[in-house]
Structure 1
Amino acid sequence: MSDDGDASPGTTAGERRYTPNDVNAGRWVRRGVLILVVAALAYVAYLVAAAFFPRWWSQRVADQVNGHLTAGTLWGLFYGFVFTFVPLIVLAQVRRRFFNWEWRGIVAIVAVLLATPNWLTLSVVAGNSKAAHAGERIMDVDAPGFRVATAIGAVSAAVIAVVVVAMSMRLSHQRREVKNLRGKLSERDE
């Protein structure tokens, strides 16, 4: 045997046996490095998106509106309403019992993606980057009324979606009660 303190029976000098704890520690180090790399990439993607998307979205809206207040208002109401109402109705499907947690996450991601036009408008309105300020100026000149109309459409869509989901839940509850009562009546009649 060797004088090496790390050697254990069945190993030669200079070799080291790894225990399951050593392997698990290596996994956690790899996971930690992976998390740091993903976080850094997400931050860089955020910076690139903040520099590009607000100006790009403002140009797309300005091309549609073409400087007309009426068109800006109508397009704003359309985008605000549709891209708030539809994602909220899709998101409400998460409460369905037949979805497992994986599908609920997918449905939630789809709902967030469906609201992309509203997220882009919000990046112009609430952003503090140079692109967001440029986007505000573009919308002020070439898309008047769009931002305010989008906010009005989004708020009204949110209210209507909450009412629709609440009514749906109430009707579902009443259907279950009627089914339960019919079952009790049929038991009593037998």
Structure 2
Amino acid sequence: MTSHSAEQSSSTNIWRNRIIGVVAVIAVLVVAYFILASFIPRWWAQRIATMSGHGSFAKGIWSGLGLGFFCTVIPLFLLLSGVVVWRRKGGRFLAGCAAVLALVVAVPNLMTLTIVWGGSGAAHAGERVLDVQAPGFRGASLIGAIVAAILFLLALFLRMRGRWRTRRAGRHRRDSSGSQAPAEPADVERNG
């Protein structure tokens, strides 16, 4: 009886420690979110303003197009490569690495979204900074992301079409190389 109660007590302690650990991680994540939500939009807007030449419309547009395009197309192709290798040996690890790398490369677009879609005071301050010191950046970033998505969809379509054609050609070769069945009597009567 004593060993049973010791095992039950040990199991209870393990679950209690797990619950405390999960609550602590959630609390740290919530605090980090609020700190970053008030910091990231302002900081990112200032970085973009510096990159865009503090008010240069042309530099704002080109930097927006570049970041929007490359920070969309690279993550999409990384995710596609992760899907392609998923079922291979060691593929899950490679797919996980591709997903993490895709997220890292997409961070500039995600930070821009915190400014555009954010409702906090920091997001509004970031919008004002971008409007004055990086004009054209937000719209150009959106255009770059859309062009990247269209390019990705086109590449995906071409890849799938090539696979369909390869499969169809393989089926056609198998069908034509096999012996053909003799015509049924009903077919002979119709043809004759």
In the superposition, the TM-score normalised over structure 1's length comes to: 0.79
1:121 matched to which residue of 2?
112
State the AA in 1 paired with 2:81: Q
Change (3 A) 1:178 1:22: farther
State the AA in 1 paired with 2:31: V
Shift of 1:62: 0.7
Change (3 A) 1:144 1:28: same
State the AA in 2 paired with 1:89: F
Shift of 1:86: 0.7
Shift of 1:25: 3.3
1:143, 1:75 → 2: CA distance? 9
State the AA in 2 paired with 1:34: G
2:58 matched to which residue of 1?
70
Give secondary structure in 2 for the equivalent of 1:166: helix
2:15 matched to which residue of 1?
28
Alignment of 1:94-105 (within 5 A): 94-96=82-84, 97-98=87-88, 100-105=91-96
Change (3 A) 1:22 1:185: farther
Shift of 1:179: 5.1
1:3 matched to which residue of 2?
none
2:44 matched to which residue of 1?
57
Gaps of at least 5 residues in structure 1 are 1-7
State the superposition RMSD in angstroms: 2.4
Gaps of at least 5 residues in structure 2 are 180-192
| Paired residues of 1:53 and 1:120 also in contact (CA < 8 A) | yes
Matched, 1:149 2:140: yes
1:25, 1:102 → 2: CA distance? 34
1:37 matched to which residue of 2?
24
Alignment of 1:161-180 (within 5 A): 161-178=152-169
Change (3 A) 1:168 1:22: farther
Superposed CA deviations along residues 118-153 of structure 1, whole A, max 9, x for unmatched, are: 011111111122221111111111100000110111
Superposed CA deviations along residues 40-95 of structure 1, whole A, max 9, x for unmatched, are: 11111111111111111111111121211111111111111111011011111222
Matched, 1:91 2:79: yes
2:59, 2:41 → 1: CA distance? 20
